[in-house]
């Protein structure tokens, strides 16, 4: 495994990637992880979780786009393809705002590991074609639902000429992954500063996003090593008022420390240019 990035643009002391997960499930299917915690009896539809998830397309996506525009920073948005049908104007707004749009499968209930190879390929093709048609920007990168690929994901993405994917967690910097269909950049995805596990699973207040980032960013700068930090919010989780406030603090901290605020595509390009 070879890492070739030795520096960031303009002498930046580190890099920050802002990630927005913009997710939707198939009609009538609630997300498996919700804020109430206690599961309902088998066969009972969780209408609370359904409404909670709908906050993403109804309110959260617009709030985070407005906040990023005010701060004049780019982000990487991971978009479920089904949103091209249910919330097409928001998909276009992501691209119009100058952000990177990334593939995130058709719907979040279709986990790659539970699909056949052909079924997974169909999900990828459908997602990328509709995001390109509606958003006007072909996704260069991909993260699977739950960040959990199958044994075939990297090869299928390379075959469809994706440049990078983020379903890897075994390194701090990008590396080249060879598959039967060619190579693809493996762009490790940091899960430590992520609103879903932090606030919903582990019960931390949303403001901890900012505190956790500040701690990690200061440590990165002190270390003098080349590295990047992922900060991730979900449109239906951390794009509520408290999360947007925390995101603003993250941006202020990054700027005060002289970090490069980039998209994941920018980081992948930096790796390719330095190979």
Residues 209 and 243: their CA atoms lie apart, in Å, by 8
Look at residue 39 and tell me if it is in a domain.
no
Look at residue 36 and tell me if it is in a domain.
no
CATH number of the domain that residue 204 is part of: 3.20.20.370
CA dihedral 79, 43, 148, 100 (to 10 degrees): 10
The tally of domains found in the chain comes to 1
Look at residue 2 and tell me if it is in a domain.
no
pLDDT along the chain (275 residues), means of 10: 78 96 92 78 87 94 98 97 95 96 94 93 95 95 95 96 95 94 95 91 88 96 93 96 96 97 96 86
Residues 18 and 233: their CA atoms lie apart, in Å, by 8
Look at residue 34 and tell me if it is in a domain.
no
Q: What pLDDT is stored for residue 1 in this prediction? A: 53
Alpha-carbon Rg for the chain, nearest whole angstrom, is 18
Which pTM was predicted? 0.94
HSE-CB for 87 with a 13 A CA cutoff: 23
Joined tokens for residue 143: 């993260």
Look at residue 227 and tell me if it is in a domain.
yes
Q: What pLDDT is stored for residue 44 in this prediction? A: 86
Q: What pLDDT is stored for residue 234 in this prediction? A: 97
CB 95 within 8 A of CB 137: yes
CA 203 remoteness from chain centre: 21
Note down the domain range covering 229: 9-28+46-274
Q: What pLDDT is stored for residue 170 in this prediction? A: 92
């Amino acid at each position: 495994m070879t890492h070739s990035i030795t520096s960031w643009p303009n002498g930046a002391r580190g890099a920050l990637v802002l990630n927005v997960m913009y997710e939707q499930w198939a009609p009538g299917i609630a997300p498996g992880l919700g804020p109430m915690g206690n599961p309902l009896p088998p066969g009972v539809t969780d209408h609370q979780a359904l409404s909670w998830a709908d906050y993403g397309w109804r309110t959260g996506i617009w709030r985070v786009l407005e906040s990023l525009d005010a701060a004049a920073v780019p982000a990487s948005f991971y978009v479920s393809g089904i949103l091209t049908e249910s919330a097409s104007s928001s998909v276009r707004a992501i691209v119009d705002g100058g952000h990177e749009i990334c593939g995130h499968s058709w719907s979040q209930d279709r986990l790659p590991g539970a699909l056949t190879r052909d079924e997974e390929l169909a999900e990828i093709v459908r997602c990328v074609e509709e995001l390109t048609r509606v958003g006007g920007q072909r996704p260069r990168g991909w993260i699977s639902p739950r960040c959990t690929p199958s044994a075939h994901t990297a090869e299928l993405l390379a075959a469809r000429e994706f440049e990078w994917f983020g379903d890897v967690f075994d390194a701090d910097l990008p590396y080249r992954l060879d598959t039967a269909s060619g190579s693809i950049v493996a762009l490790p995805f940091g899960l430590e500063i992520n609103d879903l596990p932090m606030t919903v699973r582990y019960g931390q207040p949303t403001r901890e996003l900012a505190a956790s980032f500040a701690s990690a960013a200061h440590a990165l700068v002190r270390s003098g090593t080349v590295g990047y930090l992922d900060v991730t919010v979900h449109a239906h989780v951390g794009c509520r008022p408290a999360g947007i406030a925390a995101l603003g603090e993250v941006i202020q901290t990054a700027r005060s420390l002289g970090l490069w605020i980039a998209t994941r595509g920018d980081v992948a390009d930096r790796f390719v240019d330095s190979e």
